[in-house]
């Protein structure tokens, strides 16, 4: 794996900024993912990538990573009242996809709360959440506007924790839940002419879990086709193959990928899991950079990075 | 942002806040605005004197220092007794209601229950435990907590963080220095917030563990960190500071809790 050196990051032109939308159910780890990336700015010897926060929201989230995540406390749920509340985290990311090649990405990650993704299963989230007023533009128009380069959809599935079920709406298992949400996503994207030109990463987050860790190497077949067959078939059928990437990532990582593949997490009843080892030597996120690189450039790189 | 400090009479609410004013080496919580602490003599908060006062503290966190600018309302313990509420404490009760519906952080100062104190009495006879200090038997303590839950559910719709503190830990904790060391806030090592919380749930808060769980479920479905347990003593600065550090961790730079 070609690793990064530590050159200084220089700002790029504003018009190169790439907007990435993050979607997925609540507590799937979207904000934690960005917080983890930002936290790596302070890594003394950053082997994997170089990152820098570029705006106030990102700096704020970085302090949350240090004060909460690293101190064994989960981040708070992202809540919004209207489109203008959606946090946009700006970061420069320097990646090294090939030996002696450095690519600087100027990203803005839009962190949509889980309830929007969840509402997609019932139809138009703007109507379901009942938040659209003349002064308050539509969430869907925001997600599918032309300048959004790519969209990253986070999924996880805890077998002992059933998906959010509404009485009027029969859901059978996680596959069915994701199928309904992603079908809703497709039906929102299609009329806005975004299906053919929106890169889509469908990522299984928290892949440090024992049942997913060995399958992370071939997420297409071993995770999505096997665990979420209906969702997989739907996406393969509807989304252009060159705009679709299945991926597995883990922000917490495992203790040691070779010798000790136990998850780097602590579990306690009643609360979200928390980080076990928070110093840079022991905290090894898996697959957090390559999906962003693919979303921005369309080129694949080592999926472990 | 409003912070409400509530608790029964003689639980040490006023001292809980005022002890912060004592300068200490290596302190992480540092009051800036000294007008809050008017004089060193601590008078019992009396009827009709309930009002919120601004308090500005600087909390040193791993990511830097954060200003905690809060409106603190210290409440007279007697107001919580039902029979008095309508009469002499009507004015206080009104003031509390006004603040409680707005408050995002709520400190509930709990007295130690008899079993905690009794265990200590048997082991160590140096202390004289006054009746005032005790929160009664476990059953009494538990039913009192039930009524606090009612208060949280009814009168604190905006609360994001409920901090439950069993105060006066010096009265019953045999080796409090060891506990303080174990609980010490050392960034990136030692105990995390959830570890401390789980430890206390299993030990001192065990009688109300189920109620605490229900309360966190009620507050926000899936919202982490909405109820957190602490053990405090005004004689052990590091224990006293923990709730303030915890609260400040959730703050953004503009004094608001992050949405």
Give residue A241's pLDDT band: very low, low, confident or very high (50, 70, 90): very high
Asked whether the beta carbons of residue B193 and residue A75 sit closer than 8 angstroms, the reply is no
Asked whether the beta carbons of residue B225 and residue A73 sit closer than 8 angstroms, the reply is yes
CA distance B89 to chain A (A): 37
CA distance A7 to chain B (A): 24
Give the 3-state secondary structure of residue B127. coil
If you count residue pairs, one on A and one on B, with CB atoms under 8 Å apart, how many are there? 89
Smallest CA–CA distance from A81 into chain B, residue? B259
Say what the pLDDT of residue A76 is. Answer: 84
Beta strands A148-155 and A199-204, pairing class: parallel
Give the 3-state secondary structure of residue B73. strand
pLDDT at B234 over 70: yes
pLDDT at A168 over 60: no
pLDDT at B58 over 80: yes
Q: Out of B188, B224, B248, name the one closest to residue A279 (CB).
A: B188
pLDDT at A38 over 80: yes
Q: Chain A contact for B216, CB < 8 A?
A: yes
Tokens of B46: 């009396």
CA distance B14 to chain A (A): 28
Q: Chain B contact for A43, CB < 8 A?
A: no
Q: For residue B61, list chain A residues with Cβ-Cβ distance below 8 A.
A: 63, 66-67
Best residue in B193, B209, B244 to probe A by mutation, most A CBs within 10 Å? B193
Q: For residue A275, list chain B residues with Cβ-Cβ distance below 8 A.
A: 192
Rounded CA separation B178/A97 (Å): 50
Q: Out of B194, B217, B223, name the one closest to residue A72 (CB).
A: B194
User: Dihedral through CA B201, CA B206, CA B208, CA B210, nearest 10?
Assistant: 70
* Better pLDDT: A296 or A96: A296
CA distance A270 to chain B (A): 7
Asked whether the beta carbons of residue A67 and residue B257 sit closer than 8 angstroms, the reply is no
Tokens of A154: 């986070």
pLDDT tens across B117-152, in order?
876 555 554 454 555 678 888 999 999 999 888 888
Say what the pLDDT of residue B189 is. Answer: 80
Phi-psi region of A24 (alpha: psi -120 to 50; beta: other; left: phi over 0): left
Q: How is A100-169 classified by DSSP, letter by letter?
A: T--EEEEEEEEE--HHHHHHGGGS-HHHHHT--BTTB--HHHHHT-TTEEEEEEEE---TTSPPP-BTTB
Best residue in A24, A27, A60, A73 to probe B by mutation, most B CBs within 10 Å? A73
Angle at B249 between CA B247 and CA B251, to 5 degrees: 80
Q: What percent of chain A has pLDDT over 70?
A: 88
Q: Which residues contact B239 (CB under 8 A, 6 or more apart)?
A: B169, B176, B179, B180, B183, B230, B231, B232, B233
Q: Chain B contact for A63, CB < 8 A?
A: yes
Best residue in B60, B222, B246, B248 to probe A by mutation, most A CBs within 10 Å? B222
Q: How many CB atoms lie within 10 A of CB B133?
A: 18
pLDDT tens across A202-238, in order?
999 999 998 899 999 999 999 999 999 999 999 999 9
* pTM for the structure as a whole: 0.87
Q: Chain A contact for B199, CB < 8 A?
A: no
Asked whether the beta carbons of residue A271 and residue B194 sit closer than 8 angstroms, the reply is yes
Say what the pLDDT of residue A21 is. Answer: 96
CA distance A276 to chain B (A): 9
User: What's the whole-number average pLDDT of chain A?
Assistant: 86
Give the 3-state secondary structure of residue A74. coil
Q: Out of B62, B185, B258, name the one closest to residue A76 (CB).
A: B258
Give the 3-state secondary structure of residue B222. coil
pLDDT at A260 over 70: yes
Least confident among A275-284, B30-39, B92-101, B237-246: B30-39
Is the CA virtual torsion A215, A216, A220, A223 positive or negative? positive
């Amino acid at each position: 794996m070609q690793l990064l050196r530590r050159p200084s990051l220089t700002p790029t032109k504003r018009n190169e900024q790439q907007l990435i939308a993050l979607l997925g159910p609540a507590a799937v780890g979207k904000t934690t993912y960005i917080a983890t990336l930002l936290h790596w700015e302070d890594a003394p010897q950053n082997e994997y990538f170089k990152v820098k926060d570029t705006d106030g929201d990102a700096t704020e989230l970085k302090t949350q990573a240090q004060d909460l995540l690293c101190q064994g406390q989960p981040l708070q749920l992202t809540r919004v009242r209207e489109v203008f509340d959606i946090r946009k985290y700006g970061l420069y990311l320097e990646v090294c996809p090939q030996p002696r090649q450095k690519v600087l990405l100027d990203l803005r990650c839009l962190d949509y709360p889980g309830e929007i993704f969840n509402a997609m299963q019932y139809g138009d989230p703007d109507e379901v959440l009942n938040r659209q007023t003349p002064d308050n533009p539509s969430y869907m128009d925001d997600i599918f506007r032309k300048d959004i380069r790519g969209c990253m959809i986070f999924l996880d599935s805890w077998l002992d924790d059933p998906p959010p079920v509404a009485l009027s709406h029969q859901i059978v298992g996680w596959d069915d839940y994701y199928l309904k949400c992603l079908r809703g996503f497709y039906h929102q994207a299609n009329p806005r002419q975004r299906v053919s030109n929106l890169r889509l990463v469908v990522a299984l987050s928290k892949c440090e879990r024992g049942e997913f860790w060995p399958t992370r190497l071939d997420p297409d077949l071993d995770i999505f086709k096997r665990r979420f067959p209906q969702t997989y078939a739907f996406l393969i059928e509807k989304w252009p193959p060159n705009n679709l990437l299945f991926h597995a990532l883990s922000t917490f990582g495992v203790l040691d990928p070779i010798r000790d593949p136990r998850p780097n997490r602590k579990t306690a009843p009643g609360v979200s899991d928390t980080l076990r080892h928070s110093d840079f030597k022991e905290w090894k996120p898996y697959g957090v950079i390559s999906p962003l690189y693919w979303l921005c450039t369309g080129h694949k790189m080592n999926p472990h990075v | 942002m409003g912070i409400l400090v509530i608790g029964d009479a003689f639980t040490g609410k006023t001292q809980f806040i005022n002890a912060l004013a004592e300068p200490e080496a290596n302190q992480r919580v540092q009051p800036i605005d000294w007008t809050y602490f008017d004089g060193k003599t601590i008078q019992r908060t009396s009827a009709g004197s309930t009002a919120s006062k601004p308090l500005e503290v600087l909390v040193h966190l791993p990511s830097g220092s954060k200003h905690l600018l809060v409106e603190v309302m210290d409440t007279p313990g007697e107001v919580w007794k039902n029979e008095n509420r309508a009469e002499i404490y009507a004015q206080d009760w009104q003031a509390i209601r006004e603040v409680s519906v707005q408050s995002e952080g709520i400190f509930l100062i709990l007295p130690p229950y008899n079993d905690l104190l009794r265990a200590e009495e048997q082991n160590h006879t140096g202390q004289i435990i006054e009746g005032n200090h005790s929160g009664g038997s476990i059953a009494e303590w538990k039913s009192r907590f039930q009524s606090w839950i009612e208060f949280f559910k009814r009168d604190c719709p905006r609360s994001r963080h409920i901090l439950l503190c069993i105060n006066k830990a010096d009265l019953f904790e045999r080796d409090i220095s060891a506990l303080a060391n174990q609980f010490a806030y050392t960034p990136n090592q030692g105990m995390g917030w959830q570890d401390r919380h789980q430890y206390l749930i299993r030990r001192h808060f065990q009688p109300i563990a189920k109620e605490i769980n229900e309360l966190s479920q009620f507050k926000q479905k899936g919202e982490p960190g909405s109820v957190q347990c602490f053990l405090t003593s005004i004689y052990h600065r590091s224990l006293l500071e923990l709730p303030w550090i915890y609260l400040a961790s959730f703050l953004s730079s503009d004094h608001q809790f992050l949405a």
